[in-house]
Amino acid sequence: MDGGSFVGAEVFAEVCGPLRSSQLHAPVWASPPADPPPWRPPPGTPRPLPAPRRRTRRFAVSIGYWKDPYIQYFVRPAKERKAPEINRGYYARVHGVSQLLTAFLKKTECNCQIINLGAGMDTMFWRLKDENLLPKKYFEVDFPMIVARKIHNIKSKPPLSKPIMESHSGESFLIDAHSLDSSRYAILAADLRASSELDEKLKKFNMDTQLPTLLIAECVLVYMTPQQSASLLKWAANTFQAAMFINYEQVNMADRFGQIMIENLQRRQCSLAGVEACKSLDSQRERLLLNGWETARAIDMMEVYRYLPQADVKRIEGLEFLDEKELLEQLMQHYCICWAVKDRCNLGESTVSLVVLLILCVSLDVRETRL
């Protein structure tokens, strides 16, 4: 393997996201929060990659790839510049997931719920509120250590706590070290490898199985064993009357580029327990179909990048000089977005058709612009 490909695998490893992996009469946001109690993961818990991953996202925001006024409250500034390949990869990821999410919200007229699995320090709830696109309820799930840190930040920073209170209605408001539950936003600690525990906790926080539900997992399933991710996918497919699942993670991992990426992560003591499902786009689709989903699609991130509106491409490519476009293509070909639908009230086919139409329309817009 040549030197450029080896560097590409190092860049590829940096883009990979980690597995993220008391009732009060009224919330008291103004008082300084105590440090969250320590939490030790149980044996066998995947070891997440360090904080620089989140700082990479903040760096991309800071130089103008996309707007996120809330990330500054969760993530410290990056101490050094990140490679343009990483920043463009993040932009394609954010754009692709956002397009699918927005299509689902508009199709359901926001009469739905969103469950973000392994949400980490994601800011989607606050951005959706700014866009007047909040679903009936937005759930976030992660390990206790991550949830405690996020709640700590929310309690201590009014730009985060105020939107939650503005969207809240009713008297019930739950907050403690490892959970927060308002009428429109909830964050809770749970192990995604234990579906029955996850189901119990979400129902405690008023998850509605009759509502159309969008579940999002970004670089999460790959850190679980095939059996564990299959259990989670089956639970999601069988629990809701109408549901859509969006999965963003690695693909084409059987080739040399993918193998070097795996070796780099292993040297960081980070194992990809679920890499078997990441061999190809077909294996990604097959996993979804074998675990109860009726329809499944998968496209690599290079295809997503080609579908970006030409004005966006011109803008982001003007932000930084990129020397090796071949490296960007290699990187993009080893990540994918998959989405699947299952329902009992005929929402799914129309939702899938809407998403496919949306992607095709963007593609046509790009081609017409270039012509």
Q: What is the pLDDT of residues 205-232, one digit of tens each?
A: 999 999 999 999 999 999 999 999 999 9
Sheet holding 137-142, edge to edge: 23-24, 173-176, 179-181, 185-189, 137-142, 113-117, 213-218, 242-250, 335-343, 295-300
- How does strand 137-142 pair with strand 173-176? unpaired
52, two tokens:
């620089």
What percent of the chain has a predicted confidence (pLDDT) above 90?
A: 69
pLDDT (average), residues 330-335: 95
| Three-class secondary structure of residue 272 per DSSP | coil
pLDDT of residue 227: 97
- The chain-wide mean pLDDT, for the chain, equals 83
pLDDT (average), residues 39-56: 54
Tell me how crowded residue 268 is: count the other CB atoms within 10 A of its CB.
11
Task: Please give the Cα distance from 122 to 18 (Å, whole number).
Answer: 12
Task: Please give the Cα distance from 19 to 45 (Å, whole number).
Answer: 10
Alpha helices for the chain (secondary structure H): 3-15, 52-62, 84-108, 124-130, 144-156, 158-167, 195-204, 226-239, 256-267, 281-290, 301-307, 310-317, 325-332, 348-370
Helix axes 84-108, 310-317, angle to 10 degrees: 150
Whose CA is closest to 86, among 166, 161, 11?
A: 11
pLDDT (average), residues 157-164: 97
Q: Which positions ≥6 away from 351 have C-beta within 8 Å?
A: 103, 104, 107, 244, 341
Helix axes 3-15, 325-332, angle to 10 degrees: 50
Q: Of the ranges 122-136, 322-336, 347-361, which one carries the lowest mean pLDDT score?
A: 347-361
More confident residue, 352 or 62: 62
Task: Please give the Cα distance from 328 to 2 (Å, whole number).
Answer: 15
pLDDT band at 56 (very low <50, low <70, confident <90, very high): confident
Q: Of the ranges 58-67, 247-256, 323-332, which one carries the lowest mean pLDDT score?
A: 323-332
User: Which phi and psi (to 5°) does residue 305 adopt?
Assistant: -60, -40
pLDDT of residue 332: 95
Whose CA is closest to 129, among 184, 170, 74, 173?
A: 184
pLDDT band at 79 (very low <50, low <70, confident <90, very high): confident
Whether 162 has a pLDDT exceeding 70, the answer reads yes
pLDDT of residue 46: 53
More confident residue, 23 or 188: 188
pLDDT band at 346 (very low <50, low <70, confident <90, very high): low
Whether 3 has a pLDDT exceeding 90, the answer reads no
What percent of the chain has a predicted confidence (pLDDT) above 70?
A: 78
pLDDT (average), residues 290-317: 94
Q: Of the ranges 15-29, 97-111, 171-185, 337-351, which one carries the lowest mean pLDDT score?
A: 15-29
The label of the residue with tokens 């499944």 reads 296
